[in-house]
Amino acid sequence: MLQNKHTDFPTSVDAIRSEKFLSLMFSEGVFLLFKCFSCHLFLVQINTEEHVDAADQEVIIWDRKIPEDILKEIATPKEVPAESVTVWIDPLDATQEYTEDLRKYVTTMVCVAVNGKPVLGVIHKPFSEYTAWAMVDGGSNVKARTSYNERTPRIVVSRSHSGMVKQVALQTFGNQTTIIPAGGAGYKVLALLDVPDKSQEKADLYIHVTYIKKWDICAGNAILKALGGHMTTLSGEEISYTGSDGIEGGLLASIRMNHQALVRKLPDLEKTGHK
Ligand SMILES: Nc1ncnc2c1ncn2[C@@H]1O[C@H](COP(=O)(O)O)[C@@H](OP(=O)(O)O)[C@H]1O
Ligand SMILES: [Mg+2]
């Protein structure tokens, strides 16, 4: 990880340029799985939260070496037209928590969507050097836990963009429900999975009720989908990763649960004004 000249923290630009992150981004992402050769790369739509100054733009050459552990999981690359691919990049998720030095929440994320469907997700925790990746109908290095509590779930929610999420969660699942406020959408998806990182809390559901950007959620959506889980709006609609860069309908993420039954339990946010 490159270090910022002025602080001990890597900046978001540094984070995305870190050797590990770049290797994952390119080898697990666009190139390995979609064979987007450089002549086609300009057709790929890339949406990123990062805004880099023109003076700060540095060209980094990827050596096209794919790590063995990834090659082992995904033997056959998939080929898709470059123009069907949208890449969503969040170079620093949990920005608010990062400024508070709550490093455990910080992740960097890359997601590849094909025709708007999330297909490949990478969530990297730069401070614990843990990486989760998964590809729909491909491989993964992470799995679901063996059991989840559907009746009185532990629900992970935003600590800094919470809206009325606590009221929604308690109204839906009752007062016995445990609410876990946490930073970062990447961190909250990892809370649903079997993640060995000691600083990672565990939850049964992830609920978000306010507006959120697609680069915050695409990687988590792809990973959950690849592992048989779901991420939808609170009314159960699939999220399309093309077009606008955000969604208004809130977020429900679950794995190894009856997702549609959970959706039916939730109140209609428009009617209750709980956004
Ligand atoms: N209402 C809102 N409007 C814009 N971004 C939001 C949002 N709610 C959540 N987010 C973004 O979603 C990510 C997770 O949020 P939270 O920690 O509150 O759950 C954060 O991304 P960044 O840290 O990349 O900005 C946050 O900024
Ligand atoms: Mg983010």
> Which H helix or E strand runs over 45?
strand 45-48
Mean pLDDT to the nearest integer, 260-265: 96
pLDDT above 60 for 147: yes
CA 14 to ligand 1 centroid distance, Å: 20
Complex confidence, ipTM:
0.98
Take atom 1 of ligand 1 and give the residue whose Cα is closest.
211
Protein residues with CB under 6 Å of any ligand 1 atom: 49, 90, 93-95, 158, 160-161, 183-185, 210-213, 216
pLDDT above 90 for 179: yes
Q: Does pTM surpass 0.90?
A: no
CB of 261 closer than 8 Å to CB of 199:
no
Cα dihedral 46, 48, 51, 57 sign: negative
d(CA 138, CA 123): 16
Segment among 47-51, 87-91, 102-106, 174-178 with least mean pLDDT: 47-51
**What's the Cα-to-Cα distance from 228 to each of 5, 6, 85, 259, rounded to whole Å?**
43, 43, 22, 11
| Tokens standing for residue 170 | 């308690």
pLDDT at position 42 is 57
47-77, pLDDT tens digit by residue? Answer: 988 776 767 667 777 787 888 888 888 877 7
Mean pLDDT to the nearest integer, 22-45: 49
Q: Which domains does the chain have, with CATH numbers?
A: 12-142 (3.30.540.10), 144-265 (3.40.190.80)
Query: Which has more confidence, 2 or 171?
Result: 171
Class of residue 61 by CB neighbours under 10 A (exposed 0-12, middle 13-18, buried 19+): exposed
